[in-house]
Amino acid sequence: MAKVTIKDVAREAGVAISTVSNAMNNSNLVNEETRAKILEVAERLDYVPNMNGRMLKTKRSNELAFLTSSIQGDYFTTFLGSMNQQCNDMGYTLNIVITRDDDVIRNHILGKGFDGIFIFLGEWFREAGIQLLEKHRIPAVFLDRAYSSSRIGSVVFDSRRMGYQAAKYLINLGHRGIGFLEGSMDVFDGVQRKQGYLDAMEEYGLPVRQEFVLDGRFDELYTYNAVTSFLRRREVEMPDAFIAGNDLSAVGCINALKDAGYQVPQDVSVVGFDDIPVAKYLSPKLTTVKNPISLQGIAAVKMLVGIIQERGCGRVESLAGELLVRESSGVMLRDK
Amino acid sequence: MAKVTIKDVAREAGVAISTVSNAMNNSNLVNEETRAKILEVAERLDYVPNMNGRMLKTKRSNELAFLTSSIQGDYFTTFLGSMNQQCNDMGYTLNIVITRDDDVIRNHILGKGFDGIFIFLGEWFREAGIQLLEKHRIPAVFLDRAYSSSRIGSVVFDSRRMGYQAAKYLINLGHRGIGFLEGSMDVFDGVQRKQGYLDAMEEYGLPVRQEFVLDGRFDELYTYNAVTSFLRRREVEMPDAFIAGNDLSAVGCINALKDAGYQVPQDVSVVGFDDIPVAKYLSPKLTTVKNPISLQGIAAVKMLVGIIQERGCGRVESLAGELLVRESSGVMLRDK
DNA sequence: CTGAAAGCGCTTACAG
DNA sequence: CTGAAAGCGCTTACAG
């Protein structure tokens, strides 16, 4: 059966297509009987307006796109769930597109008629992409960086502050030699978390020892190896604690410490970021910073819709996380 | 800056719009110099063809939709990752839409010009939906049930066989009184896993004791409560083992058993389904059935593209899982 | 209240 | 090789 169009409905109902269109969209223009007849026919034929035809005229789709380079990890599950719900609540549908392809990205930004775009593309979206958005005045909200202009906003976590708080927490526990397992320096959170750590060290006048700053790459195995080779290199000088770029990295760190004969937190405290679901099942249970992921999704949708409907303009919204103290961190015990 | 269209490119390049269209699509029709000029202009203006205009003519979008009622859980992360990759490899982009709204579903099936649809809507997609697909000959692949026709196929797990194998494994270990924590009977896997369990019991001439079949609803807490009240009801007769509808349910079951003073697997063996990431971190580590989720995604894409390109037709493809024996199950120890 | 007409941005025969 | 024209399915002034 061929696709049924507005023509089919018009013919079947014995009216003009414009009347069908009006009946389906504009309540008060059409005679009630005519409308009833048209709706009955439309229902019978399973008529659904072709969005391509409609959008060619109206320039509005009530569709938003979420462009992401990945949906791996629990973060996305939580995030997309809340985002999608909020989109629906506000009358939009969300299209999630996983891609790292420049052409696909351009197509979705420029060629599909989305009313607005959420961007979580990390390194797959750079300056040129921003220029494109700006030049064509596409409403957009970034979830992976802090950027804003008149039609573009961002909703991010206040990773710098949380990095600062994690470090401060450890300092208050008596730790002085605090190491950092840095994540990716291409990633907003990676940079910010480290910066927060540096902020705290500076505020308390503690030296940042470069040999205590290891490359963890947000990766469990990579961190495990980095910490293991660090421990082999220098038996003498141990950090009192490590802040890891994320929980996976914290797990790798803890395992490396254990395998080298250290106890966590008795010998070394470890703090992560994210509060991944297994964090509370680990032994020791992981002390970590939890971000309000659902709130990020909701805030992002509100911001984008605000920009689209001209009720708001672009800005950077920064959400605070929460330090969850569990078992992998404790007061400083070792003698110095 | 207003949206740049084919007209803008044509004007700027001093040619007709049909020439621009040909230059961008049909290689061998256009003079090389003309084409070069046109492409240069298109590039300079950030011209991206409006997909709505194009699709109105061509009726092909190279876009597939994945309609799902949820993306909660690790299943989806794995699944969508492999599916998306396979779509890209085959020249399609995948749009993921999370919805439980009939109108949104209808719109995406009929009104958006997707070349084909993946469906994972469970109870939010019933007979009426299938009729709609059939009537309009929409290429579709189900991931949540077994159904097929000329333009519709399914890729599912062979849950019945795996349920059978899980039960058979326990029987071979010496267990006779095997209980089942059933999941949702609205869900394909829920029904099939239980049926497999029943198959095995029958094959081995073991009675299925109705009081050993509890309602777990695929839910940890719900199962915990069901098992706890079961244990309170009858101290005398204990099952030798439980098969749980999924891992969450298995966890609830194990916790209930432990809290009632039983040891797993010494007193009761427990087997789950899914192999969720925490399964191997639990104590005891969970024996479970792991499904080849990535393969399901790949097979689904291949099937749908086959149907669309008329190179294949609808069928039910059933993927085998793998029983992972870990610590929550063991040989029958108790005296009868 | 209803319908004829124009036009959104494209592609595709077709004429030249 | 290039362009004028028709038409995909809609919506929106506008005339009646």
What dotted CATH number matches B61-157+293-320?
3.40.50.2300
Token pair recorded at residue B270: 């427990």
Say if B61-157+293-320 and B159-292 have the same CATH topology.
yes
Report the gap between the CA of A191 and the closest CA in chain B (Å).
Answer: 26
Please say if the pLDDT value at position B161 is more than 80. yes
| A119 closest CA partner among A99, A90, A103, A149 | A99
Asked whether the beta carbons of B298 and B82 are under 8 A apart, the reply is yes
Residues of A in contact with B285 (CB under 8 A): none
**Interchain contact B232–A (C-beta under 8 A):** no
Mean pLDDT lowest for which of A302-306, B270-274, B330-334? B330-334
Report which DSSP code applies to B108: I
Choosing among 3.40.50.300, 3.90.1150.10, 3.40.50.2300, 2.102.10.10, the CATH entry for B159-292 is 3.40.50.2300
| A162 closest CA partner among A205, A193, A137, A188 | A193
Does nucleic acid strand C have an atom less than 7 angstroms from the CB of B11? no
* Chain B interface test: which of A48, A69, A85 (most B C-beta within 10 Å): A48
Nearest residue to C2 via alpha carbon and C1': A19
Asked whether the beta carbons of A15 and A38 are under 8 A apart, the reply is yes
Token pair recorded at residue B273: 């389904």
pLDDT class of B336 with cuts at 50, 70, 90: very low
Beta bridge partners of A120: A68
With tokens 């409006």, the residue in question is: B50
Does the beta-carbon distance from A46 to B99 stay under 8 Å?
Answer: no
- List chain A domain ranges: 6-47, 61-157+293-320, 159-292
Please report, rounded to whole angstroms, the spatial distance between the CA atom of protein residue B95 and the C1' atom of nucleotide D5.
Answer: 35
User: What are the pLDDT digits (tens) for B271-300?
Assistant: 999 998 889 888 899 999 999 999 999 999
**Interchain contact B93–A (C-beta under 8 A):** yes
Residues of A in contact with B106 (CB under 8 A): 46, 48
Report the gap between the CA of B219 and the closest CA in chain A (Å).
Answer: 16
Does nucleic acid strand C have an atom less than 7 angstroms from the CB of A332? no
What is the Cα–Cα distance from B322 to B336, expressed in whole angstroms? Answer: 31
Q: Count how many residues are written for chain B.
A: 336
Q: What was the pLDDT predicted at A249?
A: 96
CA angle B154, B159, B164 (to 5 degrees): 145
User: What are the pLDDT digits (tens) for B43-79?
Assistant: 898 898 988 888 888 888 888 999 999 988 788 888 9
pLDDT class of A336 with cuts at 50, 70, 90: very low
What is the Cα–Cα distance from B124 to B281, expressed in whole angstroms? Answer: 34
Determine the residue of chain B that is closest to A6 in CA distance: B111
User: What are the pLDDT digits (tens) for A55-113?
Assistant: 888 888 888 999 999 988 788 888 999 999 999 899 898 989 999 999 889 989 988 88
Report which DSSP code applies to A143: S
Burial of A213 (0-12, 13-18, 19+ CB in 10 A): middle
CB atoms within 10 A of CB A27: 9
**Interchain contact B25–A (C-beta under 8 A):** no
Q: Count how many residues are written for chain A.
A: 336
Domain B6-47 has CATH 1.10.260.40: yes
- Which contiguous run of DSSP H or E holds residue B95? strand B93-98
pLDDT, averaged across chain A = 91
List the 108-127 stretch of B: residues with Cβ below 8 A of A.
109-113
Token pair recorded at residue B245: 């509808």
Alpha helices (runs of H) in chain A, residue ranges in sequence order:
6-13, 17-25, 32-44, 51-58, 74-89, 102-106, 127-135, 159-172, 188-203, 220-233, 247-259, 293-308
**Interchain contact A98–B (C-beta under 8 A):** yes
